[in-house]
């Protein structure tokens, strides 16, 4: 499909799974009513709570959350990136932070396990150790669909350009970045990083973020956006929960890549 509408969903997820899933369904349906064919949810959209509770909240894939979202994808007839959920790993205390892509028939098309984990300790300010409760993935994921070729990533991955170049070398045209960026790092770097990944890879980038108060004791940034292959932000969510839409034009993407063929000129891998 050469042209279609895509949406990023911004949420303030908490520790009540059923409420989160219902809110996600409502926002997806809003996007569908406005014509979206592809929707991206935020990182850990289905449940966010204390790290010590994550093992108990992790689930299998397929499992309850994928089944619930599969029904939504079928009902709306769209491709749905489930942001990410905590995936249970047999015989391990840590979970994978996993993004699932569902087709318009509800089928599970792909899963991506977050490669880069966010560990930071700023004394007196904030301590985040994602690796305490989550295990890193080790595979990049690119999915060919009727909408174009999608490249999957999650949040902190955004700071590692080599991942996105690998996705584009594998054919990606649309980069998906479900996130839960902190307000401190988001206010400084979110727009710059999203635009940079779009510009240097001459790709559309769909970044869906959490907003509001994090259960980990700090504020999330929000700022969910869609950037085009020239690096222009063509859609942005408001301050709270909501949906932002923009047109994806693959002919425009091809035009950008042909008129400034820097991907063909790269000499280092």
Q: What's the average pLDDT block by block, 10 residues per block, for the chain (269 residues)?
A: 96 96 98 98 96 91 98 98 96 94 98 94 74 94 98 98 98 98 93 98 98 85 98 97 98 98 92
Cβ atoms of 111 and 100 within 8 Å: the answer is: yes
Is 155 considered catalytic here? Answer: yes
Give the burial class of 52: count Cβ atoms within 10 A of its Cβ; 0-12 exposed, 13-18 middle, 19 or more buried: exposed
pLDDT the model gives residue 7: 98
Catalytic residue among 59, 81, 114, 241: 114
Is 114 considered catalytic here? Answer: yes
pLDDT the model gives residue 130: 87
Kindly indicate whether the domain formed by 3-265 is annotated with CATH number 3.60.110.10. Answer: yes
Q: Is the dihedral of CA 74, 75, 76, 81 positive or negative?
A: negative
pLDDT the model gives residue 45: 98
pLDDT the model gives residue 28: 98
Nearest to 58 by CA among 128, 109, 134: 134
Bridge partners (DSSP) of residue 211 are 221
pLDDT the model gives residue 129: 82
Q: Tokens 């997820």 label which residue?
A: 13
pLDDT the model gives residue 126: 66
Q: Is the pTM of this model over 0.95?
A: yes
Catalytic residue among 81, 100, 155, 194: 155
Burial of 81-100, coded b for 16+ CB within 10 Å and e otherwise, reads bbbbbbbbbeeeebbbbbbb
Give the integer Cα–Cα distance in Å for 98 and 83. Answer: 8
Is 194 considered catalytic here? Answer: no
Catalytic residue among 43, 54, 59, 130: 43
What is residue 81's three-state secondary structure?
strand
């Amino acid at each position: 499909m050469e042209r279609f509408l895509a949406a990023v969903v911004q949420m303030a997820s908490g520790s009540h799974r059923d409420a989160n899933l219902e809110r996600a369904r409502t926002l997806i349906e809003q996007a569908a009513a406005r014509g979206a064919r592809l929707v991206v949810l935020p990182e850990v959209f289905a449940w966010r709570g204390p790290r010590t509770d994550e093992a108990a909240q992790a689930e299998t894939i397929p499992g309850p959350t994928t089944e619930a979202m599969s029904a939504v994808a079928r009902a709306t007839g769209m491709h749905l990136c489930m942001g990410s959920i905590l995936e249970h790993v047999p015989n391990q205390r840590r979970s994978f932070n996993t993004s699932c892509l569902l087709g318009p028939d509800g089928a599970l098309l792909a899963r991506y396990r977050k490669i880069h984990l966010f560990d930071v300790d700023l004394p007196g300010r904030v301590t985040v150790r994602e690796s305490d409760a989550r295990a890193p993935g080790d595979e990049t994921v690119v999915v060919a669909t009727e909408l174009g070729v999608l490249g999957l990533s999650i949040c902190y991955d955004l700071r590692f350009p080599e991942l996105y170049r690998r996705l584009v070398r594998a054919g990606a045209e649309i980069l998906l970045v479900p996130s839960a960026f902190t307000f401190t790092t988001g206010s400084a770097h979110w727009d710059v990083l999203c635009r940079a990944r779009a510009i240097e890879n001459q790709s559309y980038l769909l970044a869906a973020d959490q907003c509001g108060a994090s259960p980990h004791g700090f504020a999330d940034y929000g700022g969910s956006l869609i950037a085009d292959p020239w690096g222009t932000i063509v859609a942005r969510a408001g301050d709270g929960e909501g949906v932002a839409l923009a047109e994806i034009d693959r002919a425009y993407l091809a035009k950008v890549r042909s008129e400034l063929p820097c991907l063909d000129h790269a000499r280092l891998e």
